[in-house]
């Protein structure tokens, strides 16, 4: 709404009167640009995703320290009403806690008591889950001038009234009903809401958008990869990038989505973000070349979205090595000089320190086992192992496509000089679908999940492991680590109490001594914790908050032992002396019943159904048709469901529950083959369970 001059004068006078009555110089409690720039000095609140613009996730609070942490206990909890993954960082401002759950649902609580103040459901169409590689998660909100901003799974950006949760505006940031999705938390820079998108496993072209926080109008949009070279390029940067692509990459979109990491540096007035994989995954399918600006860290001028610099971490990425892992700003003493840097523990296994003024490479060292490269040359380019790229049959590549580190937030303690992060040591088996063709209605990776060649035997013998790592970014070496009982774990929080908090896949929220990694305290939440902990203070009391609830591709694809981590998601808030408890939760494996539905199929048809299931259905319903627990296990389905199987898969009969239609992806005869495979797996499992009795 535009105000005329007289009305603006009346509003201004009223504002001056209110300020006079409140007392001159009284600090506003509003989250504005000044508050965001000064967030490091506001220890009580946590007003942006990484607490400050630097995203170091370090809190100066120390009421909970290495001496008192043993008295930490649960104060209150809230059931988020889902078995799907939860990954949000709660934000707190003046005693109100804001967070999100699966399906982009937003909540506001009284941070001390846990009283629900309001909730907002954006009503995401459940069948949009088809276009989300890694669960229907949401990583949180942004706060600015009395509003709460949330990005939804179906690509919208919504502004809510912070007091009531009422929507103020709602804009579609992606093509409606397309393959794009959003799982990230928005960021705020100079009165604009910044948001990227996800979907590089699908036919999409990545971009970052900036919206006016007041009106919701688009200020600028910057694409991450070049489009059709037969059309004008949107910028000189994209014109230069096109020279690093070959083939007809644009037909599959190109990928390069900015689906997670984003930071704003107010000193340099730069927005930095990481980009995802190129699409398709493999260069023999999309064309050779570096494929800029996929798998890169990119800096834009905040006012215009014009590119300032870029650094590509995995040129010509062939292994799903996104550069979307958390970015962190710091000033480090390197070779006797103070350098303003951006740091990243990349999916590809290398920890990078980059000059954030110009994007120049400073250093990189592996923080996990790596076999795709032997190192990084002085110019910052990886020294590749040719065997990892060839994929003549299949390749066993380290780190895995899940990454040596993924989206889970990392933290930095300026008092210890260490970065704290989760590390996964795992291997991926990369094989290409024979005779692959682009499907504009489904995934475009080209990865053959049905592969059963000679490399699979070696792959099945490999084990994975995980650890909490303290890393010295100046010396580029490990300070200490803690081996974890489960390979996968959550994000970290560092505090001035000499503590590091981390949630784990086995359900433990743990506190370690920051200087040496000694375990000082833990709490069993009963279900896995992927989300990062955060801390805040109200009326002089320090609290720790975290969401518990395990999800993501590790559950959906069900590589063991993921199943046991799934359970009811909750928001947990702790304080010294807390005595609250959680209701007991025990996952029980029911014996698979012998199916009574009959469908005649030969062994050859069942094998063909296995291949179709692996490349179409397993991403949600689990490898070998064994669900991770957050979506239905198809071995257990009833006879009535079997009777309407094609109606569900092609007709969309259960869209409202999150099961999309695959019309256009597979044919009725192929649905029959998949159905035959599921029934065969149910019979196998039922027979095996009967023998256990």
- Give catalytic residue positions: 320
Q: Which one-letter DSSP state was computed for residue 181?
A: B
Where are any strands of DSSP class E within 279-360? 296-301, 307-312, 328-334, 337-345, 350-355
Number of helical (H) and strand (E) elements in the chain, helices listed first: 12, 37
With b meaning 16 or more CB within 10 Å and e meaning fewer, what string describes 349-363? bbbbbbbbbebebbb
* Under 8 Å between Cβ of 634 and 649: no
Phi, psi of 516 (to 5 degrees): -140, 0
Phi, psi of 606 (to 5 degrees): -65, -40
Q: Which segments of 617-667 does DSSP mark as H helices, in order? A: 618-621, 639-643, 645-649
Question: Which residue, among 54, 631, 638, 103, has the nearest Cα to 328 in the 3D structure?
Answer: 54
State the virtual CA torsion across 78, 79, 85, 87 in degrees, nearest 10: -10
* Under 8 Å between Cβ of 430 and 391: yes
Give the Cα separation of 86 and 100 in Å (integer).
Answer: 8
Kind plus residue range of the DSSP H or E element containing 677: helix 668-692
Name the one residue in this structure whose structure tokens are 């006016």.
Answer: 212
* Under 8 Å between Cβ of 283 and 237: no
Strands 373-376 and 508-513: unpaired
* Under 8 Å between Cβ of 639 and 597: yes
Burial class for 460, CB neighbours closer than 10 Å (0-12, 13-18, 19+) = exposed
Give the Cα separation of 381 and 374 in Å (integer).
Answer: 11
Name the one residue in this structure whose structure tokens are 């995802």.
Answer: 276
């Amino acid at each position: 709404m535009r105000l005329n001059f007289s009305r603006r004068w009346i509003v201004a006078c009223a504002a001056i009167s209110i300020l006079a009555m409140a007392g001159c110089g009284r600090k506003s409690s509003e989250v504005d640009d000044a508050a965001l720039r000064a967030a490091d000095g506001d220890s009580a609140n946590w007003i942006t995703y990484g607490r400050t613009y630097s995203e170091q996730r370090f809190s100066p609070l120390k009421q909970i320290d290495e001496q008192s942490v043993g008295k930490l206990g649960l104060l209150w909890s809230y059931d988020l009403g889902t078995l799907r993954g939860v990954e949000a960082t709660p934000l707190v401002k003046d005693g109100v806690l804001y967070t999100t759950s699966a399906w982009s649902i937003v909540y506001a609580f009284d941070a001390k008591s846990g009283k629900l103040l309001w909730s907002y459901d954006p009503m995401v169409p459940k069948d949009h889950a088809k276009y989300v590689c890694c669960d229907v998660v949401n990583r949180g909100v942004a706060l600015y001038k009395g509003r709460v901003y949330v990005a939804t799974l179906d690509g919208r950006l919504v502004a809510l009234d912070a007091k009531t949760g009422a929507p103020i505006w709602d804009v579609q940031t992606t093509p409606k009903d397309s393959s794009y999705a959003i799982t990230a938390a928005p960021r705020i820079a100079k009165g604009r809401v910044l948001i990227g998108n996800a979907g590089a496993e699908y036919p999409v072209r990545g971009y970052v958008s900036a919206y006016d926080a007041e009106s919701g109008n688009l200020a600028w949009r910057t694409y991450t990869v070049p489009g059709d070279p037969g059309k004008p390029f949107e910028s000189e940067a994209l014109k230069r990038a096109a020279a690093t692509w070959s083939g007809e990459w644009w037909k599959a979109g190109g990928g390069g989505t900015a689906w997670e990491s984003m930071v704003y540096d107010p000193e340099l007035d730069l927005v930095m973000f990481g980009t995802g994989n190129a699409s398709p995954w493999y260069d023999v399918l999309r064309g050779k070349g570096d494929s800029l600006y996929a798998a890169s860290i990119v800096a834009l001028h905040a006012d215009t979205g014009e590119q300032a610099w870029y650094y590509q971490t995995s040129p010509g990425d062939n292994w799903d090595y996104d550069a979307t892992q958390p970015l962190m700003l710091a000033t480090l003493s390197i070779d006797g000089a103070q350098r303003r840097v951006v740091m990243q523990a990349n999916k590809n296994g290398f920890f990078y320190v980059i000059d954030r003024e110009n994007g120049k490479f400073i250093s990189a060292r592996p923080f996990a086992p790596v076999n795709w490269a032997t190192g990084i040359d002085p110019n910052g380019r990886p020294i590749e192992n040719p065997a990892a790229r060839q994929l003549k049959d299949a390749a066993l590549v380290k780190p895995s496509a899940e990454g040596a580190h993924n989206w889970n937030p990392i933290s930095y303690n300026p008092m210890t000089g260490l970065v704290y992060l989760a590390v996964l040591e795992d291997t991926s088996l990369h094989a290409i679908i024979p005779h692959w063709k682009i499907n504009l209605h489904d995934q475009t990776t080209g990865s053959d999940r049905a592969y059963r060649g000679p490399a699979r035997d070696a792959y099945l013998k490999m084990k994975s492991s995980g650890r909490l790592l303290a890393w010295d970014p100046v010396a580029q070496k490990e300070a200490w680590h803690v081996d974890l009982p489960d390979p996968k774990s959550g994000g970290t929080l560092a505090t001035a109490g000499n503590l590091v908090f981390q949630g784990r896949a086995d359900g433990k929220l743990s506190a370690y001594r920051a200087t040496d990694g000694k375990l000082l305290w833990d709490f069993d939440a009963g279900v896995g914790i992927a989300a990062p902990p955060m801390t805040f203070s109200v009326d002089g009391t320090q609290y720790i908050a975290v969401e518990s609830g395990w999800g993501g591709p590790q559950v959906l694809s069900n590589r063991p032992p993921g199943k046991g981590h799934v359970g009811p998601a909750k928001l947990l808030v702790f304080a010294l002396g807390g005595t609250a408890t959680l209701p007991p939760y025990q996952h029980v494996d029911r014996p698979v019943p012998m199916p009574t539905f009959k469908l005649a199929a030969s062994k050859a048809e069942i094998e063909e159904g296995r291949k179709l299931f692996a490349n179409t259905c397993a991403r949600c319903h689990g490898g070998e048709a064994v669900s991770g627990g957050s979506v239905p296990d198809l071995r257990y389905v009833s006879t009535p469901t079997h009777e309407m199987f094609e109606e569900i898969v092609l007709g969309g009969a259960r869209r409202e529950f999150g099961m999309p239609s695959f019309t256009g992806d597979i044919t009725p005869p192929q649905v029959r083959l998949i159905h035959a495979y599921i029934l065969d797996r149910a019979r196998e499992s039922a027979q095996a369970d009967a023998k256990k009795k």
